[in-house]
Amino acid sequence: MIGTLREILEQSWQRLAGTATTYVPPLVAATVIVLAAWLIAAAVRGLFLRLTRMARLDRFVVESGLSSLLGRTRPLETAPLVAGVIYWLILLIGLLTGLSAFNTALTNKMVEAVVFLLPKLFAAGLILLAGVWLGQYLGRSALIWAVNEGLPHPRRLAAGVRVLVVFVSVVVAADHLNFARTVFLAAFVLLVGGLVLAGSIALGLSAHGALRHLRETARTREEEKSLWDHL
Amino acid sequence: MLTEEARRAISEIRKADIVVGIPSYNNARTIGHVVRAAQAGLAKYFPQLSGVIINSDGGSKDGTREEVLKASIEDPRLLLLATPLLPVHRLSLPYHGIPGKGSAFRMIFAMARELGARACAVVDADLRSITPEWMDLLLRPVLHAGYDFVAPYYHRHKYDGTITNSIVYPLTRALYGLRVRQPIGGDFGISARLLARYLQRDDWETDVARYGIDIWMTTIAIAEGYQVCQSFLGAKLHDAKDPAADLSAMLQQVVGSVFTLMREYERVWRAVRGSRPVDLFGFRFDVGLDPIPVNLERMRRALLTGYRELREIWAMALDAETLRDLATLCRRAEAEPRDWRFPDDLWVRTVLEFACAHRRLPVERGHLLRSLTPLYLGRVASFVLETEHMISAEVEERIEQLCLAFEAAKPYLVARWDSAVGTPVPHAQPAPVEVRK
């Protein structure tokens, strides 16, 4: 009885020792790598912030309209933003290197998946960013046009343009990532089809009213034309 | 730049002392009169010089070109006190490139250079008030007094030329220090030297190709130190503009050109303080003018809608304080439709801040310029309310006050122009500066 118990304990101890000798060194190595990456990331971020005043980058961000991406009227603080991106990128690389120190099938697969997915995610992110920027830009154009033309509900029109452009960019990004491709494409087709149908119905229903309104507007404009011609 | 047809015409005519250019687009109703006036003017005032009248047409469908070729002064009832020694040729040619007045001018200028013209006059095709004297007034200062650029000076109705009165004249005068009253008048006299300079430039494919051409020509002449004068042409009565022309686009092209040239000639205008008068040729007289009916309500509504919908876009250009003042103005305009005013100081700040934003935000330039339309209409409405019962001389005095406000705000413009990207400048009260009379 005692022999059996001793045998079990010895086996458990051996298993524990085996596990420890297998996993503790990589764990220590991974911890050291992640810590080193964290230190490097923090140092690079600090150095970047200290060295660059980022005047040029700030100018580029403002001039390219990126600062007004989120409807901001003041420029984005570019230096901390870029420094933050660099920080997290170094940390991510450290984390992946740390994971690869375990050299197990699972960790290797995880690292491989991330490395494989990262460029695609990056490209999809860029597509989304471009879509949001373009949506914002075209939305603004539509808003100003609608206001200057005296159209009703200019904000709704602008929002519609923005949503449509962003949605198109989401579809393209999803297609690039091969993620729910058919769902997004179907939604896109439904949206465009719905818009065309709604437009046709609206046109049909309001043709009479619109014609009357146009006639009235033409008459008013005729009266005002004189000043308009001399502006 | 020149079409095959134009080259053929040049090789046939070979040489001309004077070129008169008439850009046109669907002006069949008036262009015959303009051509006849130009032809009679050349025959009467410059009988010893050879002249060519060139109609540069943008693809008219109403027989404009036929009218040009048909127009003639060979009328026994028309008595000219001088016998022309040389014939005056008439040409009507289509131009190529971006459709617009600027592209039409480009072809006229290129032909004038090829023909070796000593002076060139350009007049609008929609004029109803042009007389043969206009040729004398636009060309003589160039041919006999050594001027390079003759700007027009007209009597206009108080509500005519509001882009000129509210933005272009005061701003150009404050920037470059010359009181050219009609910088975008459309009828000019130009020397061969200045023509060569215009043709040398590479920005013809921008807004210059369209409505920006007039202010572009005037600004270059002033900023590059050419000899500039004005000629009093009497009344400016013209046909309605192209009904399809969009006010917002027109404003964008004209004001955009002013702002673009501000960047180019920064060194010139920075040093200028105050303004000085420009030599004026011609006998000044008062004339009766067509009344211009005004729809104030539509302009007031445009301002209010603009404030409601475009505030965020204005915020990209305007200071917080300017925006606050605009909010107060709009509240007042909403509450008391006939008892509100767009103060000069606020209008000046608005225009100057838009000019600085135009420099700072290249991607947003189109948006900023188009979003200026409601503000401009608001300013016009306020001007109409204020001058409703004023006579022409009082209105001119009122415009002079606005010009002085622009000149006084020059230090504010310089400070804001110099400020770092996106950094708001604390609002400075325009300091009074010496104005040279």
DSSP for chain A, please give it. Answer: -HHHHHHHHHHHHHHHHHHHHHHHHHHHHHHHHHHHHHHHHHHHHHHHHHH---HHHHHHHHHTTGGGTTT-SS---HHHHHHHHHHHHHHHHHHHHHHHTT--HHHHHHHHHHHHHHHHHHHHHHHHHHHHHHHHHHHHHHHHHHHHHT-S-HHHHHHHHHHHHHHHHHHHHHHHHTSSHHHHHHHHHHHHHHHHHHHHHHHHHHHHHHHHHHHHHHHHHHHHHHHHHH-
CA distance B249 to chain A (A): 10
Q: pLDDT tens-digit profile of A149-170? A: 888 899 999 999 999 999 889 8
Give the start-to-end residue ranges of the domains of chain B: 4-281, 296-418
A194 touches chain B (CB under 8 A): no
CA distance A51 to chain B (A): 19
Q: Is B306 on the interface with A (CB under 8 A)?
A: yes
| Residue B364 Cα, gap to closest chain A Cα (Å) | 7
Q: Taking CB atoms and an 8 Å cutoff, what residues of chain B touch A226?
A: 240, 292-293
B12: distance to nearest CA of chain A, Å? Answer: 39
Closest chain B residue to the Cα of A140, Cα to Cα: B367
- Nearest Cβ partner of A63 from B247, B301, B363? B363
Residue numbers in A near B241 (CB within 8 A): 229
C-alpha distances (whole Å) from B221 to each of A120, A139, B172, B225 are 55, 39, 12, 6
CB contact under 8 A, A68 and B422: no
Q: A147 to chain B: which residues are within 8 Å by CB? A: 305-306, 309-310, 371, 374
CB of B366 within 8 Å of a chain A CB? The answer is yes
CB proximity under 8 Å: A 142-171 to B: 143-148, 150, 154-155
**Which chain A residue has the Cα nearest residue B384?**
A227
Residue B143 has a pLDDT of 95
Using one digit for the tens of pLDDT, what is the confidence trace for A178-200? 877 777 778 778 888 888 888 78
Check CB contact of A32 with chain B, cutoff 8 Å. no
Check if B244 contacts A (Cβ < 8 Å): no
Residue ranges of A 61-120 with Cβ closer than 8 A to chain B? 62-65, 67-68, 71, 73-75
In order along its 231 residues, chain A shows pLDDT tens digits of 788 888 888 888 888 888 888 888 888 988 999 999 999 999 998 888 887 765 566 666 666 666 665 555 455 667 788 888 889 999 998 998 888 888 888 888 888 888 888 888 889 989 998 999 999 999 999 999 999 988 889 999 999 999 999 988 988 888 888 877 777 778 778 888 888 888 787 777 766 666 666 666 665 555 444 444 445
CA distance B123 to B22: 5
- pLDDT lower than 70: segments of chain B: 73-87, 240-246, 420-437
| Residue A154 with chain B: CB contacts under 8 Å | 305, 309
Q: Tokens for B156?
A: 């206009």
* Interface predicted TM-score (ipTM): 0.82
Q: Which residues of B touch A230 (CB under 8 A)?
A: 157, 159-162, 292
What's the mean per-residue pLDDT of chain A?
A: 80
In this complex, the residue of A55, A144, A227 whose CB is nearest that of residue B310 is A144
Architecture per CATH, B4-281: Alpha-Beta Complex (3.90)
Q: 10 Å Cβ neighbour count for B375?
A: 24
Give dist(CA B40, CA B35) in Å, integer.
9
Q: Is B362 on the interface with A (CB under 8 A)?
A: yes
Instruction: Quote the pLDDT of residue A20.
Output: 83
The SS3 of residue B297 is helix
Contacts of residue B298 in chain A, CB cutoff 8 Å?
A: 220, 224
Task: Answer whether A147 sits within 8 Å of B374, measured CB to CB.
Answer: yes
Residue B293 with chain A: CB contacts under 8 Å: 223-224, 226-227
For residue B398, give the 3-state DSSP assignment: helix
Inform me whether the C-beta atom of residue A222 falls under 8 Å from chain B C-beta atoms: no
Helix (H) or strand (E) run with residue B21 in it:
strand B18-24
Q: Does A227 touch chain B (CB under 8 A)?
A: yes
Q: How far is the alpha carbon of A41 from chain B, nearest alpha carbon, in Å?
A: 29
